[in-house]
Amino acid sequence: TFIHSPRDDACKLDICEKGAIGVNSEGVIEFVERNIEELSPVLEKYPAFSDATIVTASPKGNQFFFPGFIDTHIHAPQYPNAGVFGSSTLLDWLNKYTFPRESSLSSLSVARTVYSRCVARTLAHGTTTAAYYATIHVPATNLLADICSSAGQRAFVGRVCMDHKDINPEYYRDESADESIANTCLCIDHIKKIDPNYELVSPIITPRFAPSCTAEALEKLGKLVKETNLPCQTHISENRNEIQLVKKLFPEYDSYAEVYDAFGLLTPKMILGHAIHLSNKEMELIRSRKAKISHCPASNSALTSGGARVRWLLNSGITVGLGTDVSGGYSPSMLEAVRSTALVSRHVAMTDGEECKLSVEEALYLGTRGGAKVVHLEDKIGGFEVGMEWDAQLIGLELVEKEENDKEEFADDEVVDKVVFDGPKGAGPVDVFGWESWDDRVAKWVYNGDDRNTLMVWGIILYKSTMLSTVARRSAL
């Protein structure tokens, strides 16, 4: 069984129970066959695959292939802080938890530990592509690119720029706009060396957020975006105090979005994190510039930033993907981001109306196809079609086998037997009883699953099928 979102329909899942997908030695899908009873006619039809390795999902209805997740907003250096945020809100949180943690990556050995754990853990959760914010440190940022490259995780790696002396602490900032640009360029050069065509790892220009940058830095970064045509990422309209700060720092502009636009940063290649408190005018501006939005529901809840109006953004025609935003977000799991997308939309619905609810299908679409559009890879990843990459995970749910001796009465010790959990079976925390439709099983996975349900993970370039999953899972354990 393989399951994915149709390319242009977020409201349903395409569920193919008896499918076969042929992947060539480049990791590209060569055929997708549906409704097949046996494999042999398929192998006859595609003789090049006659001695292909065959990976089969259990036919019992408890396993399926699903596209890899795309995390469009994650701070790798904050990974050790995941879950640690107390009762803080954004600006306090940055100073109390985040800047001290990020500054510790001036040590390359700290960076090695943190980044290898972060990449291993996100892979174990089925994240095959991630847009990473790193730190201001060039050696550590380059190391993150190296780690993604060797682990086989597709990544956008951004060295954060933050040169504003009134906002950023003395112990953690760029000393000038020129330093922001020069160090960004050093990181671009490094990635050019390890991956000249940015096939797996690409630089991404990263002004942290408007308040952290001087107008000079924003202007120079805007020019760099134009010269290089590289993607760009930042935060926007996450928190009300942050918005006030932007007003104070950039009084000549009418809105937060206009600040970015004034410096040439609102382009189709811009990924805007959060976008919670946008005005109609800002939304129109973002749409007209075709900039993309990364919705980070777990973070928005944890830091009490607000509930982003995703239905409104989608109805407006803006492209939206999902981000974990570790460690504003408490979990590196994209399944958690999917789950909290559905939940937060229900909270928005309680005040704005029923139509704001996002279904499981829509949330999964945003975590795969939506994310692929955000990073301009919709022709490569996010679904299973001929010509796309085999970028996938095998999901397994625990099948509760029916008892051999069905009876209505049990001895006391039999009752106890039933409630003693007999150790991990390796199929995660989701029980499937057999009556569920595929939609039900997927919903159970979304609401109850975790990385134990991600049995295998495949990425591209090194085409590491089981090997990638073994690497990811071994380090996760």
User: What is the binding site for ligand GUN (CB under 6 A)?
Assistant: 75, 90, 94, 98, 208-209, 235, 238, 299, 325, 328
Q: Binds 452, which of Fe ion, ligand GUN, none (CB < 5 to 8 A, cut-off by type)?
A: none
Provide the minimum distance between the beta carbon of 330 and Fe ion in the complex, in angstroms, as a whole number.
13
Provide the minimum distance between the beta carbon of 88 and ligand GUN in the complex, in angstroms, as a whole number.
11
Tell me which residues touch Fe ion (CB under 5 A). Answer: 273, 325
Q: Binds 339, which of Fe ion, ligand GUN, none (CB < 5 to 8 A, cut-off by type)?
A: none
Q: Whose CB is nearest to ligand GUN?
A: 328
Cα(180)–Cα(164) distance, integer angstroms: 11
What secondary structure does DSSP assign to 146-159, as a single string? HHHHHHT-EEEEE-
Instruction: Report the relative pairing of strands 431-432 and 454-458 from DSSP bridges.
Output: unpaired
Comparing CB distances to ligand GUN, the nearer of 95 and 359 is: 95
Please list, in sequence order, all residues whose beta carbon lies within 8 angstroms of the beta carbon of residue 402, skipping any fewer than 6 positions away: 434
Q: Binds 464, which of ligand GUN, Fe ion, none (CB < 5 to 8 A, cut-off by type)?
A: none
Residue 68 dihedral angles phi and psi, to the nearest 5°: -65, 150
Comparing CB distances to ligand GUN, the nearer of 78 and 142 is: 78
Q: Using alpha carbons, select from 271, 196, 233 the residue that is nearest to residue 461.
A: 196
Q: Whose CB is nearest to Fe ion?
A: 325
How crowded is the C-beta side of 330, counted as CA atoms within 13 Å? 12
Q: Strand, helix or coil at 296?
A: coil
Provide the minimum distance between the beta carbon of 329 and ligand GUN in the complex, in angstroms, as a whole number.
8
Comparing CB distances to ligand GUN, the nearer of 152 and 332 is: 332
Q: Binds 209, which of Fe ion, ligand GUN, none (CB < 5 to 8 A, cut-off by type)?
A: ligand GUN
Q: Are 441 and 371 in contact (CB under 8 A)?
A: no
Provide the minimum distance between the beta carbon of 218 and Fe ion in the complex, in angstroms, as a whole number.
18
Q: Using alpha carbons, select from 174, 226, 175, 178 the residue that is nearest to residue 205.
A: 226
Comparing CB distances to Fe ion, the nearer of 1 and 324 is: 324
Provide the minimum distance between the beta carbon of 158 and ligand GUN in the complex, in angstroms, as a whole number.
12
Q: Binds 208, which of ligand GUN, Fe ion, none (CB < 5 to 8 A, cut-off by type)?
A: ligand GUN
Comparing CB distances to ligand GUN, the nearer of 241 and 437 is: 241
Token pair recorded at residue 112: 């090695």
Comparing CB distances to ligand GUN, the nearer of 208 and 269 is: 208
Comparing CB distances to Fe ion, the nearer of 19 and 273 is: 273
Cα(295)–Cα(371) distance, integer angstroms: 10
Provide the minimum distance between the beta carbon of 94 and ligand GUN in the complex, in angstroms, as a whole number.
6
Q: Binds 98, which of Fe ion, ligand GUN, none (CB < 5 to 8 A, cut-off by type)?
A: ligand GUN
Q: Using alpha carbons, select from 316, 309, 323, 245 the residue that is nearest to residue 284.
A: 316
Token pair recorded at residue 425: 């079976």
Provide the minimum distance between the beta carbon of 259 and ligand GUN in the complex, in angstroms, as a whole number.
14
335-338: long-range contacts (C-beta < 8 A, 24 or more apart)? 335/69, 335/125, 335/126, 335/445, 335/446, 335/449, 335/450, 335/451, 335/453, 336/298, 337/71, 337/296, 337/297, 337/298, 337/367, 338/69, 338/363, 338/364, 338/366, 338/367, 338/446
Cα(119)–Cα(357) distance, integer angstroms: 32
Q: Binds 441, which of Fe ion, ligand GUN, none (CB < 5 to 8 A, cut-off by type)?
A: none
Comparing CB distances to ligand GUN, the nearer of 174 and 325 is: 325
Token pair recorded at residue 394: 């095998």
Provide the minimum distance between the beta carbon of 328 and ligand GUN in the complex, in angstroms, as a whole number.
3
Q: Binds 389, which of Fe ion, ligand GUN, none (CB < 5 to 8 A, cut-off by type)?
A: none
Provide the minimum distance between the beta carbon of 162 and ligand GUN in the complex, in angstroms, as a whole number.
8
Comparing CB distances to ligand GUN, the nearer of 149 and 294 is: 294
Comparing CB distances to ligand GUN, the nearer of 49 and 85 is: 85
Q: Binds 238, which of Fe ion, ligand GUN, none (CB < 5 to 8 A, cut-off by type)?
A: ligand GUN
**AA letter at 148:** C
Provide the minimum distance between the beta carbon of 29 and ligand GUN in the complex, in angstroms, as a whole number.
35
Is the preceding peptide bond at 340 cis, omega within 30 degrees of 0?
no
